[in-house]
C-alpha cells in the first residue's frame, strides 16, 4: 500500500468567507510513492513542480485550482462529480486517471489548460470524466485530446509529422456562426464552391505549428443527417485564416452511420485555421461499400467467437482496421483470415485492461480487399458476459 505524505511546511490552509483552500507560497513536494488528496481548493503561488507520486482531486464539492504558478504533478487523478475548475494551468508529467468529474477550463481564458508534458498520458476518459475546455500537450508528437463539453467526450486525435513543442485543443458545442468566446464569427455560407453544408452544431479549436493529421468523431447530437445523406461523403473543413472562408482539409471519407462515426483529415498546419468541423464533401465519391454489421461474442461456445467477414475469401491479401466509438484504433492486421479478432486489442494505443479484452459495445471496421481493389466498412457489436 502506498504511503500518504503529510507535508507540514511550505503551505497553510487559508480560510476566506468560509471557503477553505490549501495555499502554497513555499516549496511543496510530493515524494516517490507519496499521495496527496485535495478535498479543498488549491492556490499555488510558490514552487510546486518537483513532484512524484499521486495528486488526487476528490470529494463531492466543486474544487478550484488557481494562483500565480502552474502546479506540475507526476500522476493525477480526478474523482469529483462536481468537477475541478482550472483558473490557472495544471501540468501532468505521467498519467492522468479520469474516474469521475471534469477538469473545467473557462474557454474565454485560453491560457488555462490541463497540459500533458512529454510523457503525459490519459486513462479512462469518457462522457463522465474528461476536459471540459482546453487541453494541451508539450513535446509530444501524437496525442488524443480528451476534450468535450459537460455532456459528452468529443476527442480529437492528433498525429504530427514531428514533435509538437506545444499544441492545444478544445471542443465547442456551439454554432460557428455565433461562437460565444471568439471575437469573430465563422459564416458557414462563406466557403469554397466544392463544399456542401457546413455543420452549425459544433466545432473544435486546434492549435499547433507542426504539419499534422487529425481524427474527429460524431454522435447522434451532431445531427450529421442535416449535412449529408451518406456518411461516406462527410469530410473535415477548416476556417482558413488567410482567406476567411471554409475549405476542405479532409483526407478520407467518413466511417460510420448518421448517428456515430469518425473522419480523418489530410495533412495541414493547425495554426493556419481558426476552427474545424464537419461538412459535406462534393468531391470524389467514396470507394467504400457498406457491408453487413457483425456480432462477436468471444465466450468459447464456437458461435461468433471471432469476427468473420464473408468477403475476406475474395482477397487473401487484405488489411483490417477496427476502431472504437471514439475513433481510437484498437485492432489492425494484414491478411486477416476470419479468426484473429476475438475482442482483444493489438495496437499500442492506451486501452484500459488491455489483457482482459475490449469492453462490450459498438465498434467500426474497415477492410481493404487488395486483390480486387475494394474497401468495405461496417459495424460490429462486441458482447461479453462480463467486463
Q: What is the DSSP string of 158-214?
A: EEEEEEES-EEEEEE-S-TTS-SS-SS---TT-B-TTEEEEPSS-EEEEE-SS-EEE
Q: How far apart are CA 205 and CA 292, in angstroms?
A: 35
- Structure confidence at residue 155 (pLDDT): 97
Contacts of residue 241, defined as CB under 8 A and 6 or more positions apart, other chains included, come to 272, 273, 274
- What would the pLDDT profile of 323-342 be if each residue is shown by its tens digit? 888 888 899 999 999 999 99
Report the range of poorest mean pLDDT among 16-20, 137-141, 241-245: 16-20
3-state DSSP assignment of residue 246: strand
| In contact, 134 and 110? CB cutoff 8 Å | yes
Q: What is the largest CA-CA distance in the chain?
A: 73
Contacts of residue 169, defined as CB under 8 A and 6 or more positions apart, other chains included, come to 134, 135, 136, 145, 147, 156, 158, 204, 205, 206, 207
Q: How far apart are CA 364 and CA 85, in angstroms?
A: 34
| In contact, 247 and 240? CB cutoff 8 Å | yes
- What would the pLDDT profile of 211-224 be if each residue is shown by its tens digit? 999 999 999 999 99
3-state DSSP assignment of residue 274: strand
| In contact, 176 and 239? CB cutoff 8 Å | yes
C-alpha cell at 174: 456551439
Chain centroid offset of residue 274 CA: 19
- What would the pLDDT profile of 336-374 be if each residue is shown by its tens digit? 999 999 999 988 765 555 667 899 999 989 888 887 767
Q: How far apart are CA 181 and CA 332, in angstroms?
A: 40
Report the range of poorest mean pLDDT among 84-88, 151-155, 169-173, 355-359: 355-359
Q: How far apart are CA 271 and CA 207, in angstroms?
A: 5
Q: Classify the phi-psi angles of 182: left when phi > 0, otherwise alpha if psi is within -120 to 50, otherwise beta.
A: beta
Burial class (CB in 10 A: 0-12, 13-18, 19+), 3: exposed
Burial class (CB in 10 A: 0-12, 13-18, 19+), 54: buried
In the chain, % of residues over pLDDT 90: 67
Q: How far apart are CA 66 and CA 45, in angstroms?
A: 9
Q: How confident is the model at residue 386 (pLDDT cuts 50, 70, 90)?
A: low
C-alpha cell at 64: 478550484
In the chain, % of residues over pLDDT 70: 90
C-alpha cell at 46: 510558490
Nearest alpha-carbon partner for 216 in 206, 208, 226: 206
Q: What is the mean pLDDT of the chain?
A: 88
Pairing status of strand 255-256 against strand 261-264: antiparallel
Over 100-153, what HEC string results?
Answer: ECCEECCCCCCCCCEEECCCCEEECCECCECEECCEEECCEEEEEECEECCCCE
C-alpha cell at 75: 500522476
Report the range of poorest mean pLDDT among 7-21, 115-129, 262-276, 323-337: 7-21
Chain centroid offset of residue 159 CA: 12
Query: What's the full length of the chain, in residues?
Result: 387
Pairing status of strand 90-92 against strand 71-73: parallel
Q: How confident is the model at residue 14 (pLDDT cuts 50, 70, 90)?
A: low
What is the mean pLDDT of the segment spanning 83-90? Answer: 97
What is the mean pLDDT of the segment spanning 250-262? Answer: 90
Amino acid at each position: 500500500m502506498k504511503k500518504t505524505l503529510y507535508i507540514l511546511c511550505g503551505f497553510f490552509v487559508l480560510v476566506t468567507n468560509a471557503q477553505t483552500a490549501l495555499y502554497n507560497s513555499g516549496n511543496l513536494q510530493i515524494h516517490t510513492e507519496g499521495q496527496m488528496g485535495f478535498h479543498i481548493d488549491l492556490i499555488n503561488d510558490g514552487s510546486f513542480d518537483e513532484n512524484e507520486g499521486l495528486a488526487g482531486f476528490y470529494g463531492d464539492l466543486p474544487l478550484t485550482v488557481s494562483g500565480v504558478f502552474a502546479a506540475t504533478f507526476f500522476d493525477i487523478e480526478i474523482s469529483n462529480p462536481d468537477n475541478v475548475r482550472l483558473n490557472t494551468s495544471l501540468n501532468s508529467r505521467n498519467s492522468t486517471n479520469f474516474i469521475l468529474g471534469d477538469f473545467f477550463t473557462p474557454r474565454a481564458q485560453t491560457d488555462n489548460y490541463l497540459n500533458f508534458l512529454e510523457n503525459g498520458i490519459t486513462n479512462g476518459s469518457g462522457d463522465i470524466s474528461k476536459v471540459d475546455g482546453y487541453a494541451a500537450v508539450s513535446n509530444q508528437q501524437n496525442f488524443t485530446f480528451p476534450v468535450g463539453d459537460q455532456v459528452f467526450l468529443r476527442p480529437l486525435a492528433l498525429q504530427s509529422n514531428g514533435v509538437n513543442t506545444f499544441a492545444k485543443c478544445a471542443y465547442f458545442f456551439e454554432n460557428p456562426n455565433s461562437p460565444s468566446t471568439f471575437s469573430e464569427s465563422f459564416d458557414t455560407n462563406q466557403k469554397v464552391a466544392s463544399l456542401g453544408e457546413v455543420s452549425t452544431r459544433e466545432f473544435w479549436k486546434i492549435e499547433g505549428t507542426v504539419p499534422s493529421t487529425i481524427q474527429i468523431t460524431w454522435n447522434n447530437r451532431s445531427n450529421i443527417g442535416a449535412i449529408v445523406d451518406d456518411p461516406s461523403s462527410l469530410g473535415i473543413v477548416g476556417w482558413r485564416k488567410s482567406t476567411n472562408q471554409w475549405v476542405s482539409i479532409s483526407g478520407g471519407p467518413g466511417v460510420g452511420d448518421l448517428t456515430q462515426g469518425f473522419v480523418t483529415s489530410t495533412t495541414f498546419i493547425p495554426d493556419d485555421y481558426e476552427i474545424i468541423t464537419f461538412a459535406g464533401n462534393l468531391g470524389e465519391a467514396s470507394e467504400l461499400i457498406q457491408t453487413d454489421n457483425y456480432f462477436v461474442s468471444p465466450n468459447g461456445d464456437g458461435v461468433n467467437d471471432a469476427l468473420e467477414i464473408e468477403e475476406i475469401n475474395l482477397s487473401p491479401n487484405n488489411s483490417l482496421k477496427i476502431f472504437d466509438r471514439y475513433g481510437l484504433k484498437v485492432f489492425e492486421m494484414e491478411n486477416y483470415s476470419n479468426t484473429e479478432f476475438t475482442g482483444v486489442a493489438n495496437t499500442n494505443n492506451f486501452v484500459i485492461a488491455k489483457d482482459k479484452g475490449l469492453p462490450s459495445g459498438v465498434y467500426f471496421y474497415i477492410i481493404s480487399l487488395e486483390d480486387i481493389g475494394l474497401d468495405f466498412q461496417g459495424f460490429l457489436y462486441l458482447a461479453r458476459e462480463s467486463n
